Structure 1
Amino acid sequence: MAHAFADLFEHAVDAMPDRVALIVSGEHVTFRELDERANRLAHHFKDAGFGFDAHVGIHMHNSIETMVAVLAAFKIRAVPVTVNYRYTVDELIYVYENSDLDALVYHRSYGEQVVGAVASVPRIRHVVVAPDEIASGDEPVVPEGIEYDDALADSSPTRDFAERSGDDVYILYTGGTTGRPKGVVWRQEDMWRVLGGGYDFYSGVPVADEYQQSRVGAASDMPMRMLILPPLIHTSALMPSFTFLFAGNTVLYVPAFDATKVWQVVAEEKPMVMVITGDAMGRPLIEAHAQLQLDTSSLAVVASGAALFSGSVKDAFFDQFPNLMISDSVGSSETGFGGIGFASKGTQQRGGPTIGSNRFTVVVDDDGNVLQPGSGAEGWLTKLGNVPIGYYKDPVKSAEIFRTVDGARAVVTGDRARVEADGSVTLLGRGNMVINTGGEKVFAEEVEAVVKAHGDVYDAIVIGMPDDRWGSRVTAVLQTRDHASIDFDSLEKHARNQLAGYKIPRSFWIVEQVMRAPSGKPDYRWAKEFAENNEPSHRIGLT
């Protein structure tokens, strides 16, 4: 029984070849067409000498060509390595070298960075340059790079590849916003189980067999459409794409996030579901929607993950979409899907979401003991069941979080959490983002949610800065709404109404734009460096 991603996709192709698989920038591609394009690129790589365990870098934004490249790698049992397209040349050289890339597919618009990085990584011996509607046409091209269209035109569209295995792997590099990126190595079957629909997300019950998703999809004559906005370099976009495709549904992308463009796509293509990454996408989306006169009535579900989705922004969605369902998922590169919670208007939220009880997500104390419902204790969010093999080429860091809990392999994350009386779990925030001020613990995400709910604030990152008296003081880097001035007295009053006094930011820095990773996660390293090198815009007293 094959539990490899290429096999699962091919089952959907065979069951529903003429359904639309992808829609990007008005182009509709059927399952058969997507499969044939992936077969052609797979044959191109195979003819170039690549196959099992070859590492293929995919340095691309959301597009049809990106999914073709990922599928092509899976088809020949190569290891796709998705690359953050916002990295500098130095960061790219590190990832290219650390991941042992043999080949690379990239969008032309990233030519300047890619050319500089590839020149320093001689192991990369084959490069494919994909067409790109974002590119200006003046970007440099890697010498001897093969044009994507030529690679497909010269290759076979047939499926005649070797048998695959669920033990084939995928390497996902983390964002590296608080340190060097790390490659998380997943067996494909484990990733399918926790992120690709191999388990029912709500009950935790495994699907009957490898054909169940395509069988259920073929039995329905009303396929769904999902608009996925996070970048495909992350599982928060790539895995929902596969989950939908395995069941014969249609996935939509936009090449670059633009709130107005997103709503135009919703009005034109009528997706039922939209996937976002918290406030980073949610806030500009809902503010743009209020200014537009478009038919967006098809939208029934907004699913968020990978970043904070604060209660105030959720409420703004409910104001404009009263019947909307909003879900908030917990997970990471190291855990996969950890649980899901559902929002309702007016819900008081402190930090992250509360997810329903499930047998694969628990909270453990510092000694690795599972905390029981009703204990009221805080601990570390932990994932049981199908988990990654570890970090690529990093046994030391692997040993830090990939441990044994209750006699089974588990991932003990850096997220602080609390188990509730009913067994549900409330995510409190990243453990390394806890600010210890005068012996009190402050979770950055809780303060960020409150600060961003103020009318003058568009975005915020909360950090701890050294303080002679308190050890650390809570501070914030802010982006104001429309780059206008901010009423700090009003902001302080707003914060004091919702936070204990020791949680209120004492220093503020105003910036043109708060920096975030493509996933929408705050770039805490950038915020800390900015605060260290600039005088605060405002200070308040320690009363």
Structure 2
Amino acid sequence: MAQLDLATLHEAIAAAVPDRECLVWRDRRWTWREVTERTRRLAHVLHDHGLGIGPEASSEPWESPHDHLALYLHNGPEYLEGLVGAHKARVAPFNVNYRYVDDELAQLFGDARPAAVMYHARFAPAIGRVVERLNRRPLLLQVADESGTGLLPGALDYEAALAAAPAGPLDGVRPDAGDLHILYTGGTTGLPKGVLWRIGDLMLGPLGLRRRDGTPVTDLGEAVERAVRSEVRVLVGPPLMHGAGTWSSLGGWCGGACVVFPTVVDGLDAADLMATAERERVTRMPLVGDAFARPIVAALESRPHELGPLRTMVNSAAAISPEVKRRLLELVPHSRIVDVLGSSESGFSVTRSGADAPAFTPSPGAAVLSADRTRRLRPGDGELGWLAKGGTIPLGYLGDPDKTASTFLTVDGERLVVAGDRVRYRADGTIEFHGREATTINTGGEKVFAEEVEAVLRGLPGIADALVVGRPSERWGTEIVAVVRPAGPGSGPDDAELRAGCAVRLARYKIPKAFVRTGASLRLPNGKADYAAARALVT
């Protein structure tokens, strides 16, 4: 099946609607023509420094023939320019967690082998130290910011480099749907892994280049026609260094949307986020669980907002508690919340809507495999299985043949990815999520899914957030411990009240044996659970 590529589609949309808004941040507005010109200039900079794709295609699914561009940036126009400009030069971009310190950066760069690094000036000291530890010194493109940090030796000022580059298309370089886009996992359950997506697959999968009936859009003219009709304005609060932010932004652009960033981009400021939504009349907004939904509810309760155009909130990567979801829908009654379950490796596998929906609806390509991962389950099979995804999926993990082989399987002649979600296939064809295998705790011979216990705890009065981890125990081997963050001043419910609340909805063996309280956040910048921080509090 022929597929489109990001660079070609973005150019074609810009040719059709050159003067329409493409990107908004703070007091700046960029048209599609302006973004196209800037991404062409970046492509020239990369190409003129010898970066691109090698003469031979990779023979193994864990190999990349491209040079790689690291994006070590907060949200902003340069991040999206980096993604699209890289593809125009046939360079594979990859995300870098801006919270990483030297050793973590060195490990990541050793794995990803960047030929170029785009970074905000505030990160220059760390970049300067880490590149000295690499075998190959990459091209450094420093993006000025409020820090005022000076250029590293040998680095190029990003704006100066773009100004000196040609504004026309890059001659002799033809992007392809098979070109790679690398998404590094968050590393919450191990070292980060670079997921190798073909850009054509990424566009048909997580970026949503599909018709309403789920069939793929592969004709350039049809894709541009859809984009021309679009009136979508997507507000991106989650960091682009994770899939939720990148996919929301690039998916918006593939559909002709204007991408809007809030004023504050180095953390979540819910009041600013909602003020931006109101001012820019956004129509769609991604969320990341309670870490986003609870502050947004508080911001909406603090003052009225005119959010009539906001029709869809897409939640991924973490759950929203039912009572928080109900309150958010009360505050924005004309909108809907769509929960999507997926991963860096699978994209969005299943979806659900509504505050009380108990299960998910399979997306195209979704399947449920048996516990031994050798056969497909059918609706109504009682076995607890694995969520799998076929169709438009990644090739594998960069440089890791063993992990590629264990995650990407062939079942009944179809290649599937199994990212680690445990599910049950209900008789009505919906899928019931139980938790990730990486957060499953074996206590006294019983398996406990941390997410199930966390959802119960977050639903109790006086609890703002909760994570559940295992701790060594002489009696149980591993015992269940909950780290809770009270909703207000003080310690919140006592241990007896928490146990009683859990007992209403959980079997006895699932109830935490101990509770640890903290006033600190239990979430990473993207809203995902910070299990490392939770474990540090219980050991």
TM-score, normalization by structure 2? 0.92
**Does structure 2 conserve the Cα–Cα contact (< 8 Å) formed by 1:357 and 1:422?**
no
Output the CA distance in 1 between the equivalents of 2:479 and 2:221: 55
Residue in 1 that maps onto 2:427: 421
Output the CA distance in 1 between the equivalents of 2:393 and 2:506: 36
What's the offset of the Cα at 1:521?
1.4
1:299-343 alpha-carbon deviations (Å, 9 max, x no partner): 222110122222222112123223320100111111112121111
Alignment map for 1:127-146 (pairs within 5 Å): 127-132=140-145, 135-137=146-148, 139=149, 141-146=151-156
Q: 1:330 aligns with which of 304, 317, 341?
A: 341
Output the CA distance in 1 between the equivalents of 2:111 and 2:180: 16
Output the CA distance in 1 between the equivalents of 2:511 and 2:305: 40
Which letter maps to 1:283? Answer: R
What's the offset of the Cα at 1:179?
1.1
Matched, 1:284 2:272: no
Output the CA distance in 2 between the equivalents of 1:185 and 1:485: 45
Describe the shift of the 1:195–1:348 C-alpha distance in structure 2 as closer, same or farther (beyond 3 A): closer
Alignment map for 1:363-512 (pairs within 5 Å): 363-365=368-370, 366-488=372-494, 489-512=496-519
Describe the shift of the 1:490–1:449 C-alpha distance in structure 2 as closer, same or farther (beyond 3 A): same
Residue in 2 that maps onto 1:189: 200
Runs of 4+ in 1 over 3 A off after TM superposition: none
What's the offset of the Cα at 1:348?
6.5
Q: Give the 3-state SS of the residue equivalent to 2:419 in structure 1.
A: strand
Q: 1:241 aligns with which of 249, 265, 270?
A: 249
Residue in 2 that maps onto 1:263: 274
Residue in 1 that maps onto 2:167: 157
Describe the shift of the 1:101–1:208 C-alpha distance in structure 2 as closer, same or farther (beyond 3 A): closer
1:488-536 alpha-carbon deviations (Å, 9 max, x no partner): 133222222222222222211222313433322112233223311xxxx
Which letter maps to 1:103? Answer: A
**Does structure 2 conserve the Cα–Cα contact (< 8 Å) formed by 1:307 and 1:519?**
no
**Does structure 1 conserve the Cα–Cα contact (< 8 Å) formed by 2:10 and 2:254?**
yes
Residue in 1 that maps onto 2:70: 57
Which letter maps to 1:361? Answer: A
Which letter maps to 2:46? Answer: F
Output the CA distance in 2 between the equivalents of 1:426 and 1:124: 48
Q: 1:83 aligns with which of 96, 101, 106?
A: 96
What's the offset of the Cα at 1:99?
0.2
Output the CA distance in 1 between the equivalents of 2:531 and 2:187: 10
Output the CA distance in 1 between the equivalents of 2:456 and 2:113: 43
Alignment map for 1:23-102 (pairs within 5 Å): 23-52=24-53, 53-102=66-115
Which letter maps to 1:223? Answer: E
Output the CA distance in 2 between the equivalents of 1:141 and 1:504: 54
1:358-415 alpha-carbon deviations (Å, 9 max, x no partner): 4411111114211100112211110111211111101111111111012111101211
Which letter maps to 1:357? Answer: P
Matched, 1:115 2:131: no
Output the CA distance in 2 between the equivalents of 1:286 and 1:509: 26
Alignment map for 1:343-358 (pairs within 5 Å): 343-344=354-355, 347=356, 349=358, 354-358=359-363
Output the CA distance in 2 between the equivalents of 1:392 and 1:61: 24
**Does structure 2 conserve the Cα–Cα contact (< 8 Å) formed by 1:2 and 1:210?**
no
Output the CA distance in 1 between the equivalents of 2:51 and 2:445: 55
Which letter maps to 2:452? Answer: E
Residue in 1 that maps onto 2:221: 211
Alignment map for 1:515-534 (pairs within 5 Å): 515-532=522-539
Residue in 2 that maps onto 1:9: 10
**Structure 1 stretch 508-517 or stretch 422-431: which is displaced more?**
508-517
Which letter maps to 1:244? Answer: G
What's the offset of the Cα at 1:483?
4.5
Output the CA distance in 1 between the equivalents of 2:114 and 2:361: 40
Output the CA distance in 2 between the equivalents of 1:459 and 1:294: 26
**Does structure 1 conserve the Cα–Cα contact (< 8 Å) formed by 2:6 and 2:203?**
yes
**Does structure 2 conserve the Cα–Cα contact (< 8 Å) formed by 1:177 and 1:517?**
no
1:39-76 alpha-carbon deviations (Å, 9 max, x no partner): 11111112222222111111111101111111110001
Which letter maps to 1:131? Answer: A
Q: Give the 3-state SS of the residue equivalent to 2:481 in structure 1.
A: strand
Output the CA distance in 1 between the equivalents of 2:426 and 2:320: 21
Output the CA distance in 1 between the equivalents of 2:197 and 2:241: 15
**Does structure 2 conserve the Cα–Cα contact (< 8 Å) formed by 1:478 and 1:514?**
no
1:149-169 alpha-carbon deviations (Å, 9 max, x no partner): 101110111113411211110
Which letter maps to 2:169? Answer: R
What root-mean-square deviation, in Å, do the aligned CA atoms of Structure 1 and Structure 2 show?
Answer: 1.8
Which letter maps to 1:391? Answer: Y
Residue in 2 that maps onto 1:199: 210
Output the CA distance in 2 between the equivalents of 1:479 and 1:11: 49
Output the CA distance in 1 between the equivalents of 2:150 and 2:517: 36
Matched, 1:321 2:332: yes
Matched, 1:223 2:231: yes
Q: Give the 3-state SS of the residue equivalent to 1:127 in structure 2.
A: strand
**Structure 2: which 5+ runs fail to align?**
54-65
Q: Give the 3-state SS of the residue equivalent to 2:44 in structure 1.
A: helix
What's the offset of the Cα at 1:426?
1.8
Output the CA distance in 2 between the equivalents of 1:241 and 1:436: 39
1:170-215 alpha-carbon deviations (Å, 9 max, x no partner): 1111010121111111111111111223334x64311251332221
What's the offset of the Cα at 1:129?
0.7
Output the CA distance in 2 between the equivalents of 1:232 and 1:55: 17
- Percent identical: 35
Q: Give the 3-state SS of the residue equivalent to 1:207 in structure 2.
A: coil
**Structure 1: which 5+ runs fail to align?**
533-543
Q: Give the 3-state SS of the residue equivalent to 1:530 in structure 2.
A: helix
